Structure 1
Amino acid sequence: MSFHIPYGRQDIDNEDIQAVINVLKSDFLTQGPAVNAFEAAISSYVGVKYAVACNSATSALHLACLALGVGPGDIVWTSAITFVASSNCALYCGAEVDFVDINLATYNISLEALTEKLIIAKSSGNLPKVLIPVHMAGQSADMRAIYALSQEYGFKIIEDASHAIGGSYENSSIGSCKFSDIAVFSFHPVKIITTGEGGMAVTNNGILADKMNLLRSHGITRDPAQMQSKSDGPWYYEQIELGFNYRMTDIQAALGMSQSKKIGGYVLRRNELAERYKSVLRGLPITLPTLLESNYSAFHLFIILLTDGITKSRHLEVFSQLREAGIGVNIHYIPVYLQPYYQKKGFKKGYCPNAEEYYSRAVSLPIFPNLSIDQQDFVGSKLGEILKP
């Protein structure tokens, strides 16, 4: 089924198209100068020292885990409400994964649940090596508080900022890594900016950046300082780690470079639409997202919660009627541990009560820069019609 109002959509203009054409006419389609330029643009934008562009945010999360030494015998924690990549990345490394419940007001990791879980884990000698907080829908988790817990309990932090480029926390750009080791962005078409598929890991730690750069390209180096043998000639390279082909192409990077100039404008427009939803949806039996004063959300998603106590069948009915009206609503996300793969690992329903409560009531409404006022009004009126007593 195709929708005339999707929940999210890329915005590609002639400048973006010309940037890609320029690369197509150049000598390099991949492993050329465009990737370095895009990395420099993003690192400058968020105020971080190093950036490593990848073919997806999933790849970037995997590299981030590997750079922090995640492996067999380790455990990584993340939010129960996120896309599966936030937890799968730990499993790729041979580690175990566990989930922290969310705060029902912000949809981010609950500090109370995290603190309680850390106390229990310390007493049982089972603390996480890495925590991956997810900046759900574009709003930063409370990173200062999470960082304080990391200092007390000794874990590293990877920010899953896939939703959040262009947002800020305590007046610093999300991705500045002020309170984390590494942050990861996604450039999927429905995100804030796009490279088609693509992602990036950013960090202020040069050792972590070098490790991710090495692993991104098969574990191969041409740097004599890293080689174990004397070079045979200008062609010489060595594989010193078992790496991956996680490289971004110059075609993707050119699109990303062009799109990066519009981050601020895109996020401003998303905030304007989010603010307008408050009036469009006023009086309906729903809960709107709560923003912390310290945050400026990128508003990748606009998620409402239907009235507390709504039945499963009514939730489905509301969702289905919106889609039948041509409104491409979605649900972000099913609690990860309820997926069959994770249930085989022993996770059961009831593990994170707030996450399950959220899932039973959540609906993602359309929000993207080119959403028109008429379209937004239609979403509000149709939802009101469906929810009327």
Structure 2
Amino acid sequence: MDELNIPYCLPEIGEEEIAEVVDTLRSGWLTMGPKTIAFEEQIAAYTGAKYAVAVNSCTAALHLSLLAYGIGRGDEVITSPYTFASTGNVIVHSGARPVFADIQRDTFNIDPEKINEAITPKTKAIIPVHFAGQPCDMKEIQEIADDHNLVVIEDAAHAIGAEYRGKKIGSLSDATCFSFYATKNMTTGEGGAVTTDDQKIADKMRILRLHGISKDAWKRYSAQGSWYYEIEECGWKYNMTDIQAALGIHQLRKLDGFVATRRKYAEMYSAALRDLEGVVTPVEKEGRKHVYHLYPVLVNEMNRGDFIREMAEMGIGCSVHFIPLHQHPAYQKLFECMKGDCPNATWLYEHEVSLPLYPKMSLMDLESVISCINRVMYD
């Protein structure tokens, strides 16, 4: 086998994005301006939501959503432990307490039955995390929320383009938060967005994303704007820039194509690996459109660390998603979490490996990854 160099992930950036960024640089609108506004309109239209608010990260999107819905000190927010740091951290920064409900072993997604068990009189919101790009059990989660008058804020960092029962993620709940980080299914380099059907919530997030002032840069410095502004609330510097939006406008146009390639490659991985002893491939639940931001497999017959090391020695980049939040020192110290909490999350973490999967991969790259897995497992 020739020497390989297949990284875990690479973004797909074309000439259209480059030209749009150059146009932005020449326009003079480097911060939030007309292209950010256009990008927001396109995100709303794509997801089927009434409003979209573009921000500088999914972390900012989650934080603003909690604040806009009044989640704060003394409240509890139920979420998955099987997620990146931002999901739990924003709950802490809002003043609330994160409560972790264990996940399903087949999907890595939060288990609605565990949500029900975790509800207390202090519970105010649920943050389901669509792990790897597969939608959670949103019908069951929304029914629980309706029964207990809870807000549902989806962490869809992995799930732009995904569908649940024929509807796009982004149009199902109170608010949905997306990531456009460099490794995601579409990218603005850094960036994110919130979708919602509630105009008051959208307006509040627009105020909070830019220091809490009454007018953004477009409203102050465009030909139709005015220099005068007032600070309505003490907000944050969470806005997206037109440079980022310039990338996003074209990435969004290409997203369905990106997703089609990811799904094709995922099917090829599954066909080649599902009968391989010691490897468990991901499932796609009925009524869902999985967008495969990740292709997570479970390695059961050998040490996970050895598997990743041997793949790296052959030139294949793999990763692990995620170290469950309840296992991190900060959450153990602040909230008395124990490593034995959430046993499904703990078990899956000990066996999970994310294989390379991105549109820039070639079919030969994919076949090389499969060949290397067979060598690691059987040689």
| Structure 1 letter corresponding to 2:308 | F
Q: Which residue of 2 aligns with 1:83?
A: 84
SS at match of 2:233: coil
SS at match of 1:327: coil
SS at match of 1:185: strand
- Paired positions, count: 366
- Using the alignment, how far apart are the partners of 1:61 and 1:362 within structure 2? 26
**Which of 342, 345, 349 pairs up with 1:352?**
342
- Using the alignment, how far apart are the partners of 1:235 and 1:197 within structure 2? 29
SS at match of 1:193: coil
SS at match of 1:261: helix
- Using the alignment, how far apart are the partners of 2:265 and 2:228 within structure 1? 54
Residue 22 in 1 paired to residue 23 in 2? yes
Q: Which residue of 2 aligns with 1:227?
A: none
Contact 1:280/1:377 (CA < 8 Å) preserved in 2?
Answer: no
SS at match of 2:249: helix
Q: Which moved more, 1:366-375 or 1:279-288?
A: 279-288
Contact 2:81/2:326 (CA < 8 Å) preserved in 1?
Answer: yes
| Structure 2 letter corresponding to 1:317 | D
Q: Which residue of 1 aligns with 2:203?
A: 210
Report % sequence identity. 43
**Residues 277/234 of structure 1: CA separation in 2 closer, same or farther (3 Å cut):** closer
Contact 1:217/1:243 (CA < 8 Å) preserved in 2?
Answer: yes
Contact 2:71/2:96 (CA < 8 Å) preserved in 1?
Answer: yes
Contact 2:99/2:118 (CA < 8 Å) preserved in 1?
Answer: no
SS at match of 1:158: strand
- Using the alignment, how far apart are the partners of 1:264 and 1:135 within structure 2? 18
Give the alignment of 1:164-313 within 5 angstroms. Answer: 164-176=159-171, 178=172, 180-222=173-215, 234-284=226-276, 285-307=278-300, 310=301
- Using the alignment, how far apart are the partners of 1:317 and 1:27 within structure 2? 51
Contact 1:8/1:190 (CA < 8 Å) preserved in 2?
Answer: yes
Contact 2:109/2:129 (CA < 8 Å) preserved in 1?
Answer: yes
| Structure 2 letter corresponding to 1:82 | T
| Structure 1 letter corresponding to 2:270 | K
Contact 1:55/1:198 (CA < 8 Å) preserved in 2?
Answer: yes
SS at match of 2:176: strand
Q: CA deviation at 1:40?
A: 0.6
**Which of 128, 136, 139 pairs up with 2:131?**
136
- Using the alignment, how far apart are the partners of 1:323 and 1:333 within structure 2? 19
- Using the alignment, how far apart are the partners of 1:234 and 1:42 within structure 2? 27
SS at match of 2:52: strand
| Structure 2 letter corresponding to 1:206 | Q
| Structure 2 letter corresponding to 1:172 | K
- Using the alignment, how far apart are the partners of 1:152 and 1:15 within structure 2? 47
Q: CA deviation at 1:215?
A: 0.1
Contact 1:169/1:294 (CA < 8 Å) preserved in 2?
Answer: yes
Q: CA deviation at 1:106?
A: 0.6
- Using the alignment, how far apart are the partners of 2:78 and 2:311 within structure 1? 35
Contact 1:67/1:211 (CA < 8 Å) preserved in 2?
Answer: yes
Residue 376 in 1 paired to residue 366 in 2? yes
Contact 2:207/2:235 (CA < 8 Å) preserved in 1?
Answer: yes
Give the alignment of 1:103-118 within 5 angstroms. Answer: 103-118=104-119
- Using the alignment, how far apart are the partners of 1:144 and 1:155 within structure 2? 14
Q: Which residue of 1 aligns with 2:67?
A: 66
- Structure 1 segments unaligned to the other structure (5+ residues): 224-232
Contact 2:274/2:280 (CA < 8 Å) preserved in 1?
Answer: no
- Using the alignment, how far apart are the partners of 1:113 and 1:90 within structure 2? 19
SS at match of 1:360: helix
Q: CA deviation at 1:6?
A: 1.9
Residue 328 in 1 paired to residue 317 in 2? yes
Q: Which residue of 2 aligns with 1:228?
A: none
Contact 1:38/1:257 (CA < 8 Å) preserved in 2?
Answer: yes
SS at match of 2:193: strand
**Residues 41/93 of structure 1: CA separation in 2 closer, same or farther (3 Å cut):** same
Contact 1:302/1:365 (CA < 8 Å) preserved in 2?
Answer: yes
SS at match of 2:27: coil
Q: CA deviation at 1:222?
A: 3.9
Q: CA deviation at 1:234?
A: 4.3
- Using the alignment, how far apart are the partners of 1:238 and 1:377 within structure 2? 58
- Using the alignment, how far apart are the partners of 2:258 and 2:51 within structure 1? 24
SS at match of 1:73: coil
